[in-house]
Amino acid sequence: MSLRTFAPSSDERVIAGVCAGIAQTLGVDATLVRLVFALLALAGGAGILLYLGLWAWAEGKRVWVAALLAFFAGCVLLGALGLSGRSVAGIALIAGGLALAWRQGGSFRPDAPLSYGGIALAAVGAVVLLSGETTSSKLLAPGAVAGALLLIGGPWVWRLAVERDAERTGRIRSEERSDVAARVHDSVLQTLALIQRHANEPRRVASLARRQERELRGWLYADHPLGDETASLVASLEAAAGDVEELHGVRVELASAGDCPVDGAVSAVVLAAREAMVNAAKFAGVEEIDVYVEVTEDAVGVFVRDRGAGFDRTAVPPDRRGIAESIEGRMERAGGRATIVSSPGEGTEVELRLPRGKS
């Protein structure tokens, strides 16, 4: 219930109904309000002035008369409480300054202009108040001045902070936008240009489109950013698969359950898996290779499978170092193991397994 809804009560009035009106608005007993006004009236007549002011305000015509009367009522009250004339004048000037600032719509809302007149008036009041020598002014002055400063300067500081925030948000947004633009330009537009140039080579076009799709998808849906292949095992394998697709014109289907960060041993797994994909792309004679990566608490497993020609391990000449060195040797040095299952006509599956430490 705001005082704006306050109206004098004509039913219960004694003088003009102001006390009864306030009592109704505040929901308290009218006698209590009258008692307060009586006490205030004893304080140098402040109650009478306030009563007149409120009445003028409630009648709705004399707003500034009401303000002035209330103002004087405050001064009289302060004087009656034992404050020196100088202190009362200082406080009155500060209050006047604040009122002026308020009237000019200034300073109390973050978006309003500063009221210099109000500030000047309040400053004069502060000087008057601070230069006083009585005990009461010494006690009151710091609080009053600080309060006034807060009321006048606070909204302005607040507004500055809000503006800075808005500016920062805007900057972040425009940075994000240019980031998107750069990526779209770098990868998608490049790819489209390449596709136009290689329109007569279906395999090349397919692998370009596929690689672009993989990149864009990784960026849109996955948690790892485009181009950051070192972030995780799955991201690294995706990058390797993309390379193999582009270089050898095959499709690599990558499925995964779990993921882990890449350390030295894990990167050996990625390299071995890449080698296995390259072998499948080169020798199996198939369009599609399936890769499945599984990360559990205690091991990393990667399976590279094709449904292609297959081969007989015993028939591979020992000087062909691809499998022995790049896959098996690499896995062993990393502390893991590679198992290759293949037979002519049945396709090949390379299983890479690396135990995970508790690190």
Partner 1 sequence: MTRRVVLVDDHDLFLAGVKAELGDAVEVVGQAGSVAEAVPLITELDPDVVLLDVHLPDGSGDAIINAVAPERPGVKFLALSVSDAAEDVIAVIRAGARGYVTKTISGPELAAAIERVATGDAVFSPRLAGFVLDTFRAGEQVGGDAELDQLTPREREVLQLIARGYMYKEIAARLHLSVKTVESHVSNVLRKLQLSTRHELARWATQHRLV
Binding site for partner 1 (CB under 8 A): 210, 213, 217, 221-222, 251, 253-258, 289-292, 294, 296-297, 303, 305, 307, 349
Positive or negative torsion for Cα 228, 231, 235, 240: positive
Tokens of 42: 């004893």
How far apart are CB 295 and partner 1 at their closest, in Å? 9
- CB of 18 or CB of 254, closer to partner 1: 254
Q: Residues 160, 166, 171, CA angle at the centre, nearest 5°? A: 125
- CB of 104 or CB of 256, closer to partner 1: 256
Pair 23, 33: CB distance under 8 Å: yes
How far apart are CB 242 and partner 1 at their closest, in Å? 14
- CB of 53 or CB of 238, closer to partner 1: 238
How far apart are CB 305 and partner 1 at their closest, in Å? 5
How far apart are CB 306 and partner 1 at their closest, in Å? 8
On the CB side of 22, CA atoms within 13 Å amount to 16
Sheet holding 288-295, edge to edge: 251-257, 288-295, 299-306, 347-355, 337-343
Pair 129, 137: CB distance under 8 Å: yes
On the CB side of 215, CA atoms within 13 Å amount to 21
- CB of 165 or CB of 346, closer to partner 1: 346
CA dist 238 and 291 (Å) reads 10
Tokens of 229: 């292949």
Tokens of 103: 């009237």
- CB of 152 or CB of 244, closer to partner 1: 244
How far apart are CB 356 and partner 1 at their closest, in Å? 14
As beta bridge partners, residue 332 has none
How far apart are CB 307 and partner 1 at their closest, in Å? 8
- CB of 149 or CB of 195, closer to partner 1: 195
How far apart are CB 180 and partner 1 at their closest, in Å? 18
- CB of 164 or CB of 203, closer to partner 1: 203
3-class SS string, 185-197:
HHHHHHHHHHHHH
Contacts of 169 (CB under 8 A, 6+ apart): none
Please name which of 168, 163, 175, 126 lies closest in space to residue 147, comparing C-alpha atoms.
Answer: 126
Map residue 337 onto helix, strand or coil: strand
Please name which of 228, 246, 250 lies closest in space to residue 304, comparing C-alpha atoms.
Answer: 250
- CB of 290 or CB of 328, closer to partner 1: 290
Map residue 266 onto helix, strand or coil: helix
- CB of 68 or CB of 209, closer to partner 1: 209
How far apart are CB 222 and partner 1 at their closest, in Å? 8
Burial class (CB within 10 angstroms; exposed 0-12, middle 13-18, buried 19+) of 4: exposed
How far apart are CB 292 and partner 1 at their closest, in Å? 4
